[in-house]
A and B are shown apart, each in its own frame.
Chain A
Amino acid sequence: MALKKGCTLLFIFWSIVCAQLPFDGTKASLDFDIGLCGVSPFSFHHSGRNAGSVFEVAAAALYEYGFRGESQLYSASMGGVYNSERLSLSGAVTMLEAFNLYREVTPRIGCGFNIGKKNCLAFFIAPTIHSIPGEKKSSFSGALNIAHKRKIITFAGRAQFWGMEKGEELTRADVRLALSTGEHKLGAQAVALSLERSSHVVALTIVEQYRLNRFVLISAGVQSRPLFVHVGLVLSKGKVEVGSLFSRHSELGWSRGGYLQFRMQSEE
């Protein structure tokens, strides 16, 4: 039970981290693409920490960079994760609509393997279809994650690329090292360093979250390069979790989003 509780807390923590922060460079990723092995709500279950199978579905919407309220940049995601003791699978689709000019549709599939009781290896791939009026193109993204859990601390590493097109050299990629704690008396914390491959830009992310009670959890964080701050509020009851998220880019302003998650778990 302790493990289950720890996993749940860790899951929630990372849910906040990944859902509300520009953790991988997207300012409020609700699109299930971040990482695996404990770096995203769904990928946690790839690590197989649950003592039974878990199935989750979630939907999220994001209104990005609302500048004086006139931004026309929206994204919406839906996805689900199935997680058994050794193997987990996830699938999601994200749609982004920008300025009535541009659209992205990105389906993603992910797979995770548990190696022993403390390690996880996972990946995802995500082809993206980009379109403007009268024209379409496609690109690929993907990531490989590893995670090691020791007591309440999780070490994670990730290598990710995105936006790569057929026949093109890989230019958009980063590696990330993250360290997070499970929930304790002072809440839960996470720190991540990411290094962008070709620009050599290093970004630092720091997150603090605090559970007010069993239903309410708040979080705040900051990221450099680019500079984001975020606050978030998550309400959970039973199998349902609702999150409301706000992040602010230093120049582009606020993004806001929300998600609804439903979780079903079978006891072993």
Chain B
Amino acid sequence: MVLTDGIMESAILSVDTARNYVLPGEVLLIMDPDYFSAPYETHYAIPKTAVVSKVEHSSICGGLTETDGFALLYGEEKRLCALFSTSHNSDDTLVGKLYYENSACKDGETTAVHLTSVALMHYVSAPPTPGKYNYCDKGLFIEKYLSVQQDSAVLSLSVHFWGEGVGRLSLENRDSILWKTVLAQNDSFQTTVSFIVGLGEYLLFYEHNRDTVVDTLNLSALFPEMGALAVSEVAPRSDIEWLELYNSGSRTIHLEGYRLVRGDDTVMIPEGRIEPSSYALLSSYTDFMPEDAYIRLPSRFTLNNYTDTIVLASSHQSLDTLMWDHRNYSHWESETVNRINDELILCEPSPGTASSCRDGKSLLLSIEPNIVTPNGDGVDDLLHIAFGRSFGVQYAVSIFDLRGTLLYAQTAMKPDTLTWDGVDRYGRSAPRGPIFIVLESEGSVVRKEAVLWP
């Protein structure tokens, strides 16, 4: 991607990222090495936590010094929150470093999300011409604006051309040329054209004095397959919180540009992708798994252990909402919240794999403790039986001893919690030994085992 400063202060630089479009909520790197003292505070917004990528020194007009500054522009906001300086690396690259922060800027400002229409700006330039004198003063300069609607987007190109030579510009998709124009020599030309774009890849060709740049606009992330990406599992109760996304569609989904929204907090999902019918794990914990097994989220992204709502959003719309409330579940310990057939159930954790609770049919049964000591000492005197799956169905809970004798039976019409004091149906203390807790509902049966130790 090629960037220049917005006021054409003879600065052009390249950033070593393959990205050539910017999604809402992302930051856009603006560099202005020769206009360092400008009152950025009045113009730009910069996220405090943004990290600047490597910058190719060779592409900088007149060279980039350590005093050159970067500004990061966020979405529609135009307020500076930080500035970056650069330093040389041994491999002749520059690394940007944060050296100025605007204390008036809050973290939340950098993560505000617009789920509907969002206008984006993307500054591109004509190809650099290193070695040519005064190349910074002439050329083709384009501002790209992408206004994303619910299922389409408007791409606006604001073209600025400062003659010398001939410039050509075209926008194509895989099937046809959508638009092209030729810019005459020595013209000072400025125009704006707009296109309705949809899912797919667009190519923006710039040609200036035989130098050509192809700018690829991959809008797949802007228009995901409806319903293809969803939060399939979340572990809010775990010591190490994580959540799982599932791609049920037919295309690979690049997660870059997607967001997770939790209340006022929004985090961008870093680079990553999910193949069709595959899962991706997201966690902010560093010791969660081998690093290549999950996508790391910013550390501030934490889940409420009991009640929370997570929204998965693409660049312009909400895709999925996962809301859990521990009060809907009779047990809330080691299991994770799984979405199975549009139903949220608790199930054994299955990070990165399909849930063990297939088709939402599996019953959930948990017991506590596994050694019941009904001796009146106040410790593990009662067996707590929690069960459920969904409301409106009948559950039958039974306890059997080693001989297969029924000790206890109870029915319920909703997920619930029962306690058993070790007394059988005839009022006697049940015999010491193994016991079996059986839950039956709509033909499905699950069983847990415990030991009764009176």
Contacts and interface: CB of A to CB of B under 8 A. Distances in A.
A101 B428 contact: no
Chain B contact residues: over half helix, strand or loop, or mixed?
A: strand
B433 A130 contact: yes
A252 B436 contact: yes
Question: Which has the most chain A C-beta neighbours within 10 Å: B404, B424, B428, B440?
Answer: B404
User: How large, as a class, is the contact surface on chain A?
Assistant: 20 to 34
Contacts of A251: 398, 400, 404, 436, 438, 440, 445
Nearest to A71: B449
Given A99-B449, A99-B451, A199-B426, A226 B403 contact: yes
Nearest to A228: B404
Interface in B421-448: 424-426, 428-429, 431-434, 436, 438, 440, 445, 447
Question: Which has the most chain B C-beta neighbours within 10 Å: A99, A135, A137, A139?
Answer: A99
Question: Which has the most chain B C-beta neighbours within 10 Å: A22, A73, A99, A102?
Answer: A102
Given A101-B451, A199-B426, A251-B398, A25 B431 contact: no
A172 interface: yes
Contact of A25 (B405, B425, B436): B405
A98 B432 contact: no
A252 B447 CA distance: 8
A132 B428 contact: no
B371 interface: yes
B453 interface: yes
B406 interface: yes
Contacts, number: 81
A27 B403 contact: yes
B152 interface: no
User: How large, as a class, is the contact surface on chain B?
Assistant: 20 to 34
Interface string B342-363: 0000000000000000000000
Nearest to B403: A25
A94 B398 CA distance: 28
B216 interface: no
Contact of B431 (A22, A99, A163, A252): A163
A215 interface: no
B400 A226 contact: yes
A139 B406 CA distance: 22
B284 interface: no
Contacts of A26: 402-403
B370 interface: yes
A226 B403 CA distance: 8
B428 A198 contact: yes
A135 B400 CA distance: 23
Contacts of B400: 226, 249, 251-252
Contact of A252 (B404, B425, B429, B450): B404
Contacts of B453: 102, 130, 132, 135, 137
Contacts of A64: 402
A98 B398 CA distance: 19
Contacts of B426: 198-199
A265 interface: no
A228 B406 CA distance: 13
A14 B197 CA distance: 84
Interface in B197-215: none
Contacts of B450: 99, 101
Nearest to A26: B403
Interface in A128-178: 130, 132, 135, 137, 139, 162-163, 171-172
B111 to A, nearest CB: 46
A98 B449 contact: yes
Contacts of B405: 25, 226
Contacts of B402: 26, 64, 73, 98
Contacts of B433: 98, 102, 104, 130
Contacts of A71: 449
Given A102-B433, A163-B432, A172-B431, A226 B404 contact: yes
B438 to A, nearest CB: 5
A44 interface: no
B434 A102 contact: yes
A13 B426 CA distance: 34
Given A171-B428, A226-B403, A251-B400, A99 B438 contact: no
A102 to B, nearest CB: 4
A114 B20 CA distance: 99
Contacts of A73: 402, 434, 449
Contacts of B432: 130, 137, 139, 163
B403 A101 contact: no
A137 B93 CA distance: 75
A98 B436 contact: no
B424 to A, nearest CB: 8
Contacts of A82: none
Contacts of B404: 22, 25, 27, 65, 226, 228, 249, 251-252
Interface of A: 22, 25-27, 64-65, 67, 71-73, 98-99, 101-102, 104, 130, 132, 135, 137, 139, 162-163, 171-172, 198-199, 226, 228, 249, 251-252
25 contacts: A22-B404, A25-B404, A65-B404, A71-B449, A72-B449, A73-B434, A98-B449, A99-B370, A101-B450, A101-B451, A102-B433, A130-B432, A132-B371, A132-B451, A132-B453, A135-B453, A171-B428, A199-B428, A249-B400, A249-B404, A251-B398, A251-B400, A251-B438, A252-B404, A252-B447
Shortest beta-carbon contacts, A-B, top 10: A98-B434, A226-B404, A102-B451, A199-B426, A25-B403, A249-B404, A163-B431, A101-B451, A99-B449, A171-B428
Given A26-B403, A99-B434, 11 more contacts: A27-B403, A67-B447, A98-B451, A102-B433, A132-B453, A163-B431, A172-B431, A199-B428, A228-B404, A249-B400, A251-B404
